[in-house]
């Protein structure tokens, strides 16, 4: 009886092992912890790892670590060493195709290469504190990700992927050598796409992107978003060297229809501190939930939002503008503040938007008035939203009449300047 059971058990486990050829027992550990060359050597035989693979510091690792047989890790592939820096320069898993949970490598200060050329599926990618990293081929081979695509503090020059359709977070921070971010298959980033503190002048290409929640771009020199229709949370371009910004299909920034939605992090449409910016093109933009802010872009002279109807928050514009064009504007929930240093700029026509009730809050021109701080508590957001939904501006009251007689509103203060 006992022998039959033993036989069965042995038989099952050998079938199991044979089918996966995962001979060392540690391959089935819920956590396979590598903390010495000995354990590493055994783990290198695994073709599959059932649990998490965790690599910790050891003094006797070689300079290159390879997992030649490894095809999948069902848990996470982790190395987040907080006590002692690992001196390995190359990490390779040439046959690894899938990691069930996180692929998280951090603080390998001398790591230059991660070689995982056939890796296609991961739940979350997190690379950080890898200042020597110049090559990570799996970033390009990934075809599916359920959560983060996060690359922070590396020396990568380019991050390119033409297969990944979706991610929740795309966070690209502190990459001192980065010149290009190109995610050509990405159609949707449901939490954010954010670039911060990278090398100044990153070229960003997102040719398939249709929808993103928070969109935050810092230190970019170019932006390609021909298909973007909606930035649900906000759209921020800051501290950049872009010469033009074009969002031909962008219809709305900010979501503000559901009173239960907190607007805590939603900032609206903000374009600022970009001294090379000469032109803006947002021909389809109809609505900005929260604020529309354009400030400190010294070369920008013409502002035109030809389809913009609604701004639920404030409009804040500051610069040396020659023309402003808001032909369809119907409702501005907050204040309208325009600071214009251009001598001779006339505020009279803009004042008309205040006089006829299109602007609900205060009107300030040509002195810039700081926008009121927003109380972002859940309760007050709800009040603000409900208040907005109840408010009917004069133009929306006569919406149908108005659309047939839309008045193009433009101020051109100096034809002479334009000629010069």
Ligand X SMILES: *[C@@H]1O[C@H](CO)[C@@H](O)[C@H](O)[C@H]1NC(C)=O
Interface positions with ligand X (CB under 6 A): 26, 29, 31-33, 39, 69, 85, 87, 94-95, 107, 109-110, 129, 131, 153, 174, 188, 190, 210-211, 218, 236, 238-239, 270, 273-275, 296, 349, 352-353, 356, 358, 375, 377, 379-380, 394-395, 402, 407, 409
Identify which of residues 7 and 132 has a Cβ nearer to ligand X in the complex.
132
The Cα diameter of the chain in Å comes to: 104
Q: How far is the CB of 4 from ligand X (least distance, A)?
A: 27
CB of 196 to ligand X, least distance (A): 8
C-alpha Rg value of the chain to the nearest Å: 28
Please identify, using beta-carbon distances, which residue of 4 and 371 lies nearer to ligand X.
Answer: 371
**322 versus 384: smaller Cβ distance to ligand X:** 384
| Distance of closest approach, residue 7 Cβ to ligand X, in angstroms | 24
Count of alpha carbons within 13 angstroms of residue 39, beta-carbon side:
16
Would you say 25 and 51 are in contact if contact means Cβ atoms under 8 Å apart? no
Query: Looking at beta carbons only, is 3 or 59 nearer to ligand X?
Result: 59
How do beta strands 121-128 and 144-145 pair? Answer: parallel
Instruction: Compare residues 7 and 275 and give the one whose CB is closer to ligand X.
Output: 275
Toward ligand X, which CB reaches closer, 131 or 361?
Answer: 131
Q: What is the 3-state secondary structure (H, E, C) of 352-416?
A: HHHHCCCECCCEECCCCCCCCCCCCCHHHHHHHHHHHHHCCCHHHHCHHHHHHCCCCCECCCCHH
Minimum separation from the CB atom of position 312 to ligand X (A): 17
Alpha helix positions (H), 21-158: 37-43, 138-141
Minimum distance from residue 239 beta carbon to ligand X (Å) = 4
Cα 231 to Cα 222: distance, rounded to the nearest angstrom: 18
Alpha-carbon dihedral of residues 106, 112, 115, 120, nearest 10 degrees?
50
- Phi/psi for 25 (5° steps) reads -60, -35
Nearest approach in angstroms of CB 285 to ligand X is 17
- Work out how close the CB of 2 gets to ligand X at its nearest, in angstroms, rounded to a whole number: 24
Within a 10 A sphere around the Cβ of 328, how many other Cβ atoms? 19
Residues 6+ apart with CB under 8 A from 135: 112, 113, 114, 115, 156
CB of 58 vs ligand X, minimal distance in Å: 12
DSSP class of residue 27 equals G
Question: Of the two residues 100 and 319, which places its CB atom closer to ligand X in the complex?
Answer: 319
Which C-beta is closer to ligand X: that of 312 or that of 393?
Answer: 393
Nearest to 135 by CA among 181, 91, 71, 188: 91
């Amino acid at each position: 009886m006992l022998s039959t059971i033993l036989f069965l058990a042995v038989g099952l486990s050998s079938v199991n092992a044979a089918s996966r050829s995962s001979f060392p027992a540690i391959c089935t550990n819920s956590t396979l912890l590598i903390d010495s060359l000995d354990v590493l050597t055994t783990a290198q035989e695994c073709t599959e790892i059932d649990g998490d693979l965790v690599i910790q510091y050891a003094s006797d690792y070689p300079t290159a670590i390879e997992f030649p047989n490894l095809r999948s890790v069902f848990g996470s592939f982790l190395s987040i060493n907080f006590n002692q820096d690992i001196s390995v320069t190359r990490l390779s898993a040439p046959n690894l195709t899938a990691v069930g949970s996180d692929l998280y490598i951090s603080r390998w200060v001398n790591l230059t290469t991660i070689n995982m050329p056939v890796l296609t599926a991961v739940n979350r990618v997190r690379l950080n504190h890898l200042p020597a990293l110049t090559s990570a081929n799996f970033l390009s081979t990934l075809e599916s990700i359920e959560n983060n695509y996060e690359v922070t503090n590396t020396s990568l020059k380019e991050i390119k992927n033409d297969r990944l359709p979706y991610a929740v977070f795309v966070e690209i921070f502190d990459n001192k050598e980065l010149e290009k971010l190109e995610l050509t298959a990405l159609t949707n980033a449901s939490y954010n796409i954010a670039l911060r503190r990278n090398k100044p002048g990153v070229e960003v290409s997102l040719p398939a992107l249709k929808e993103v929640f928070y969109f935050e771009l810092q230190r970019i020199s170019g932006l390609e978003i021909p298909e973007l229709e909606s930035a649900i949370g906000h759209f921020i371009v800051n501290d950049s060297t872009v010469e033009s910004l074009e969002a031909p299909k962008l219809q709305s920034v900010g979501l503000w229809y559901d009173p239960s939605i907190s607007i805590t992090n939603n900032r609206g449409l903000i374009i600022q501190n970009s001294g090379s910016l000469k032109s803006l093109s947002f021909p389809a933009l109809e609505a900005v939930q929260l604020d529309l802010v354009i400030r400190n872009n010294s070369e920008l002279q013409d502002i035109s939002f030809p389809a913009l109807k609604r701004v639920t928050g404030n409009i804040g514009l500051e610069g040396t503008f020659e023309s402003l064009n808001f032909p369809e504007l119907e409702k501005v929930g907050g204040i309208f503040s325009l600071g214009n240093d251009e001598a001779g700029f006339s505020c009279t026509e803009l004042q008309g938007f205040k006089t006829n009730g299109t602007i609900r809050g205060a009107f300030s021109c040509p002195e810039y008035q700081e926008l009121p701080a927003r109380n972002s508590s859940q309760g007050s957001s709800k009040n603000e939203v409900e208040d907005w939904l109840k408010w009917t501006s004069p133009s929306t009251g006569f919406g149908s009449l108005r659309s047939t007689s839309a008045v193009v509103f433009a101020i051109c203060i100096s034809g002479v300047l334009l000629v010069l």
